[in-house]
Amino acid sequence: MKAISYHEHGGPDVLQLVDRELPEPGPGEVRVRITVSGVNPTDWKTRAGANGPTESAVIPHLDGAGVIEAVGEGVERDRVGQRVWLLMVAPGRPGGTAAEFTVVPAEQAVPLPDEAGFDLGASLGVPAHTAHRALTVAEDGPRRLRPGALEGKVVLAAGGAGAVGHAVIQLARWAGATVISTISGPEKARLATAAGAHHVVNYREGDPAAEIRAIAPDGVDIIAEVALGANLDLDLAVLRTRGTIAVYANDGDKPVGLDVRQNMMLNTRFQFLVLYTVGSEVLAAASEDVSAAVGDGALPVGEEHGLPLVRFPLDRTADAHRAVEGGAVGKVLVDVSR
């Protein structure tokens, strides 16, 4: 099979197109023919060495979508031919989704409805699970999402034009929240609105805190934060008492300094999150809820839905990594087999 691989950390040029043996599924596993592979910031950061040394060749990418073509012992035979989307494929595994085939535990291959395309399937994993986690960690909020679960709540999606911000907007709206998104300009405002945000606020103009407070006089219940260092002052200015700031990134790497008394008085809850260590029960619950949202048509992708798709063929996966690393707007996908 054709695959992208690297055996040392470095820039995108370490990614090489190679031939590999076809992997065989073991007990409880399935082999999936990958149609589309999704690229996330964690993929290039891992390639660059953020998660420590690599002792063997690595096939990158956590997310993807395709069709099950073989199953191991203990897996129902009728899953062969099933369309699926994949999540968290690479950690501790011999290969990710930047390959024609991959083998994963059966529970990590989630059925993809016939009306949902492979592009959507490959866009779900990391962004949708991160968004789900951000929306389910509030002290007085739900642990699961469904229509009505966030009724009466106000959610602020920082950076709503990004893949995670896009998923936050869509899942929060599906669950009944009033959704505000902060953006940096008209084009990103258009994308956040297309994703379903009820309100967009340009954080570079005027008084964004006053604008948000005009929408939510009692404050925001949950903030899904992509750049804590840059946005903390605004977050605290609009957060309600006992509100939650769910932090999944610190874009720009601005240092974070906390006014302890201010946060004590607010009873601020900071929830830092990364999917690698949330645990299997959290991931399984998120997969069920995300699948339900997909079934309801609540998570569409594409330009018209606020998440432009940026495509590359498998042999240009290095360029796909450059695009993500360079801050491409939208979701970067690699076409593996079409």
Residues 192 and 104 placed together within one structural domain of the fold: no
CA distance 109 to 66: 9
Residues 14 and 114 placed together within one structural domain of the fold: yes
161, 127 contact by CB (below 8 A): no
Q: Coil, strand, or helix at residue 191?
A: helix
Q: Compute how many other C-beta atoms are within 10 angstroms of the C-beta atom of residue 260.
A: 7
Tokens 């006992």 correspond to 242
Cα angle: 283, vertex 288, 293; to 5 degrees: 120
pLDDT at 338: 66
Q: Which pairing describes strands 199-202 and 109-111: parallel, antiparallel, or unpaired?
A: unpaired
pLDDT at 189: 97
Question: Can you list the alpha helix ranges (DSSP code H) found in 180-315?
Answer: 186-195, 208-215, 228-238, 260-266, 280-295
> Which structure tokens are listed for 287?
């997969």
Residue 279: inside a domain, yes or no?
no
Residues 202 and 265 placed together within one structural domain of the fold: yes
Residue 130: inside a domain, yes or no?
no
* Domain span including residue 222: 138-272
CATH number at residue 305: 3.90.180.10
pLDDT at 55: 66
4, 37 contact by CB (below 8 A): no
Tell me the whole-structure pTM to 2 decimals.
Answer: 0.95
CA distance 24 to 246: 39
Residue 295: inside a domain, yes or no?
no
pLDDT at 56: 79
> Which structure tokens are listed for 245?
């700031």
Residues 25 and 101 placed together within one structural domain of the fold: yes
CA distance 141 to 150: 7
| Boundary-marking domain end, from 231, 254, 272 | 272
Q: Compute how many other C-beta atoms are within 10 angstroms of the C-beta atom of residue 288.
A: 15
Residues 215 and 305 placed together within one structural domain of the fold: no
| Cα-based distances in Å from 123 to 185, 261, 314 | 24, 40, 16
User: 149 phi and psi, to 5 degrees?
Assistant: -65, -30
CATH number at residue 162: 3.40.50.720
One-letter amino acid at 288 equals: E
pLDDT at 152: 97
For the chain, percent helix, then strand, then coil, each to nearest 5?
35, 25, 40
The secondary structure of residue 135, as a DSSP letter, is: T
197, 130 contact by CB (below 8 A): no
Q: Using CA atoms of 91, 114, 83, 248 in order, give the dihedral in degrees to the nearest 10.
A: 0
- 31: part of which helix (H) or strand (E)? strand 29-39
Residues in the chain predicted with pLDDT less than 50, given as ranges, are none
Residue 282: inside a domain, yes or no?
no
Residues 108 and 164 placed together within one structural domain of the fold: no
Residues 147 and 245 placed together within one structural domain of the fold: yes
CA distance 187 to 262: 35
Counting the structural domains of the chain, the total is 2
Residues 86 and 173 placed together within one structural domain of the fold: no
Rounded to 10°, the helix 280-295/118-134 angle is 130
CA distance 59 to 61: 7
Of the candidates 205, 124, 193, the residue with the CA atom closest to the CA atom of residue 157: 193
One-letter amino acid at 93 equals: R
